[in-house]
Structure 1
């Protein structure tokens, strides 16, 4: 049996608060949890599309004996602050805030940073700054933040084209961000600091990886005959060449973070149960 999630607000800088959901490990897990997991959500509307799948995955990990913390970053979800005021540095600070909270609740358990889409970039950047080793669970990781930003800005272009405009709009958007002006995209006010921070982020192995660091890399495709893209293969090779063993699985399922309707990906839950459920994942990934 898994305890009910603990929903609370975590105090943050400037009198703000961050919404957190803590999933305690299953009551069947005795003593120290198998591990502790900090979930880092995707960017903008992808976060909302992923809410259900994130909750299902958190429950699956808790049932497997892991302590799991979800945190809404500044300006996202039910956390305080405006999305338009958030910066990449703010989000990195929130990751450390979530880590402090998780470490207090499960001090001796091995740490996993779990990122989904843009959350993978936050996870890898945080890993490089940690003094103690941590493992990575990367779900649908981008090679960098640049294509994510481009994809997001195209939503504004699409809206302008529908209104009869759009010509030269990307250059204008870029110029506005370069001047330090926020831009509105699909109902989100995007600050230059957040845009430039996302664009500059890359999925880079840490410079001094610990010997025990493990990487689980999961991606989804709706095609039953799908194969790894060259970009993903090259990225996984970089991590392996850096001395970080990568357990990579390409699963069949919908891109739930961007589908029109809220969808589930059972194959992702099954993979988490298999990789994390029957043995310590840090050993299974070896």
Structure 2
């Protein structure tokens, strides 16, 4: 059975609103999930995969809420005006809405893709589990990868020398920079750079999935080290490599059906 998502605008602070999609299960939810999208253009590249995964999870009995963070997608404000703290507020806003639409004691999962995983970690004042898709270990790495997009675009013209240092200096001085069609504000850059994929709050479960091109895909060494840190902090972590493309960065929209199937199995 295919379940249609409820698309709506969620009122936010200062008269703004956030675009949300709620995927309701047919009966009482087995669990509740909040999906947190990746950074900048990676969000758009991942929309199809996220939509298919949300639908599959709803059909498997889970309640899923998606939110376009402030300045992203069809939500209020420009990307350049967003701050990391705004996005943390959006997580709290979305969790309250998820509770309203799926009341009860079903387990709560924060599901982050790439930099979305960095936003998912924190002490939310309640027990949470985590579903990580290709999580980034630090916001500093995410910021560097994003800035390199402009670096790559300038290389053909020979204007890339010193550009990375120049962009970092602009951000450090409180000014915005333009990267790949996005205006990156200094407040968002500093908040992202300070983010870490570190355990926080009451230990729960973590489903950690990384994609690879081989059928016997495994975690990266950095991923294995991060998983151990979560385990040492008392979290129950199940990590697995899954075959599939890096759909968040491919030129054409691509899918990783095995990742969706493994996710549904993991939360069963």
Q: Shorter-chain TM-score: what band?
A: over 0.9
Q: 2:208 aligns with which of 197, 205, 217?
A: 217
What's the CA shift for 1:60? 0.9
Query: What SS does the corresponding residue of 1:176 show, helix, strand or coil?
Result: helix
Secondary structure of the 1:272 match is helix
Work out the CA distance in 1 between the residues paired with 2:116 and 2:219: 21
TM-score, scaled relative to structure 1:
0.91
Superposition misfits of 4+ residues, deviation over 4 angstroms:
none
Q: Secondary structure at the match of 2:132?
A: strand
Name stretches of at least 5 consecutive residues in structure 2 with no aligned partner: none
1:152 paired to 2:146: yes
Count of residues paired in the alignment: 267
Q: Tell me the residue number matched to 1:282.
A: none
Which of these residues, 65, 69, 75, is aligned with residue 69 of structure 1?
65
Asked if residue 187 in structure 1 is aligned to residue 178 in structure 2, the reply is no
1:237 matched to 2:228? The reply is: yes
Is 1:266 the equivalent of 2:262?
A: no
Q: How far apart are the structure 1 equivalents of 2:225 and 2:166?
A: 33
Could you tell me how far apart the structure 1 residues matched to 2:52 and 2:36 are?
A: 15
Cα-to-partner distance string for 1:168-220 (whole Å, 9 max, x where unaligned): 111111110011000000000000111111111000011x424xx11110111
TM-score normalised by length of structure 2: 0.97
CA deviation after TM superposition for structure 1 residue 259, in Å:
0.6
Verify the 8 A CA contact 1:2 1:24 in the aligned structure 2.
Answer: no
Given that 2:32 and 2:64 are in contact with CA atoms closer than 8 Å, whether structure 1 keeps it comes out as yes
- Return the alpha-carbon distance in structure 1 between the equivalents of residues 199 and 136 of structure 2: 13
Structure 1 residue 224 displacement after superposition: 3.0
SS at match of 1:273: helix
Residue 246 of structure 1 pairs with residue 245 of structure 2: no
What whole-Å deviation, never above 9, does each CA across 1:80-108 have from its counterpart, x for those lacking one? Answer: 10000001001111111111100111121
Q: Which deviates more, 243-252 or 227-236?
A: 227-236
Match of residue 36 from structure 1? 32
Identify which range, 266-275 or 11-20, moves more after superposition.
266-275
